[in-house]
Amino acid sequence: MKATLESGYDVGCVPRLTLANGAQIPVVGMGTFGSDKYSPDTVASAVVEAATLGYRHFDCASVYGNEVQVGSSLKQVMLNGVKREELWITSKVWNDMHGAGNVIVSCKKSLKDLGLDYLDLYLVHWPFPNFHPKGCSGDYHNPDAKPYLHDAYMKTWAQMEVLFKEGLIRNLGTSNMTIPKMKLLLRACTIKPVVNEMEIHPHFQQPELVDFMVANKIQPVGFSPIGSPSRPERDRTPEDTCDTTDPVILKIASRLSVHPAVVCLMWAVQRGEIVIPFAVKREQLFSNLKAGMRAELTTDEMKAISGIDKKCRLIKGQVFLWRKDQTWEDLWDLDGVIKQ
Ligand SMILES: NC(=O)c1ccc[n+]([C@@H]2O[C@H](COP(=O)([O-])OP(=O)(O)OC[C@H]3O[C@@H](n4cnc5c(N)ncnc54)[C@H](OP(=O)(O)O)[C@@H]3O)[C@@H](O)[C@H]2O)c1
């Protein structure tokens, strides 16, 4: 494979995984959440840059507040010669649009903003209808927040199925689900999700959840795959650990002469995940895409990384809690029971 920072990669080199329904998704996508740090225009410029490097998969969401700008970039990318069918564009319905009819409204808005006729994948961003204002602090509490209510979630899912039947979305997926919630969805849905987007990085491996998804033919897509070093303040706590300074990761990075971030991505892809790292810098975009093409971690290195799981969830979601006396663990059904 001949590729340089100037030329980028031959698109044919970027591997794709086949989902349960036969759809083919590139193993590395570009995340587009600017983490309240990078402006919509900066993220949008990075989308054009990423496409010139060989990216064809972009992970978007209405709540990222930049779909209009990302849409202009996608238009540019297609004017530059990339065909729509080569692209894989994901978007997500935000928590404030779960109600009757709103998922359809939200999807149509994302399509308009992104300048597309259809989405390759549409996700329910969180299983809760609870939301927070942009830039809020970590202890924000929404007095209207509710626990997970299965009937309400299925009303949301029914609208996802309508969008699929109307051809506006080609694949359905979930995000931030747990095993008990996914079991309920699988029992009640007509059209199954083919993807679950979930936090995965070496210090937060979620092996049971990954195994459950794979056993049910639901492809895990790992978000914050580098350990989200630029995440917003509200998502930081003193207990958080850092993947890219872990001695095991550093040792492998030194052997391969790559940034520790690249080791995190290689580990995930070698494990069979899709990764959606965020980057706006050309060098980072380039090495992140390359990480999806090089299965160079040895069996011993893969085993060593399995051993550094610190069960350290970074995106805890505490701003979605429905009672003030709760802790973020209540969102994640740790004992197998959905908290009410
Ligand atoms: N479904 C969900 O609920 C959900 C939640 C969170 C995220 N996501 C998605 O997942 C995407 C990625 O997650 P994330 O942004 O939280 O975290 P991430 O991808 O783990 O980390 C991104 C940061 O890592 C650094 N980085 C990237 N590539 C690098 C490289 N090659 N070498 C060194 N540093 C590198 C950059 O920091 P600097 O910019 O400081 O250099 C970048 O801002 C998001 O953009 C979004 O699309 C989804």
With contact defined as beta carbons under 8 Å apart, do 38 and 64 qualify?
Answer: no
The verdict on residue 5 lying in a domain is no
With contact defined as beta carbons under 8 Å apart, do 157 and 123 qualify?
Answer: no
- Give the range of the structural domain holding residue 317, as residue numbers without chain letter: 11-331
The verdict on residue 116 lying in a domain is yes
Kindly report, residue by residue over 131-147, the tens digit of the pLDDT: 888 778 888 888 889 99
Query: What is the band of 2 on the pLDDT scale with cuts at 50, 70, 90?
Result: low
**Region of residue 135 (left: phi > 0; alpha: psi -120 to 50; beta: else):** left
Give the pLDDT score at 35: 84
Give the pLDDT score at 8: 76
> What domain count does the chain have?
1
CA of 337 to the centre of ligand 1 (A): 30
- The alpha carbon of residue 102 and the mean position of all alpha carbons in its chain are separated, in whole angstroms, by 22
The verdict on residue 109 lying in a domain is yes
Question: Which atom of ligand 1 is the closest one to the Cα of 197?
Answer: 1
Question: Which atom of ligand 1 is the closest one to the Cα of 262?
Answer: 31
Q: Across the chain, what does the average pLDDT equal?
A: 95
Of all protein residues, the one whose alpha carbon is nearest to atom 47 of ligand 1 is: 31
Q: What positions carry a catalytic annotation?
A: 64
Distance CA 267, CA 246 (A): 14
Give the pLDDT score at 58: 98
Q: In this predicted structure, which of 9-23, 68-82, 183-197, 226-240 has the lowest mean pLDDT?
A: 9-23
The verdict on residue 339 lying in a domain is no
Phi, psi of 221 (to 5 degrees): -110, 120
Distance CA 82, CA 76 (A): 9
Distance CA 227, CA 298 (A): 22
The verdict on residue 1 lying in a domain is no
Give the pLDDT score at 10: 74
- Is the pLDDT confidence value at 301 over 60? yes
Query: What is the band of 7 on the pLDDT scale with cuts at 50, 70, 90?
Result: confident
Kindly report, residue by residue over 75-86, the tens digit of the pLDDT: 999 999 999 999
The verdict on residue 267 lying in a domain is yes
Show the ligand 1 pocket: residues with CB < 6 angstroms: 31-33, 35, 59, 125, 175-176, 197, 223-231, 259, 261-262, 276-279, 284, 287-288, 315
Phi, psi of 172 (to 5 degrees): -110, 145
With contact defined as beta carbons under 8 Å apart, do 241 and 8 qualify?
Answer: no
CATH of the domain at 103: 3.20.20.100
The verdict on residue 340 lying in a domain is no
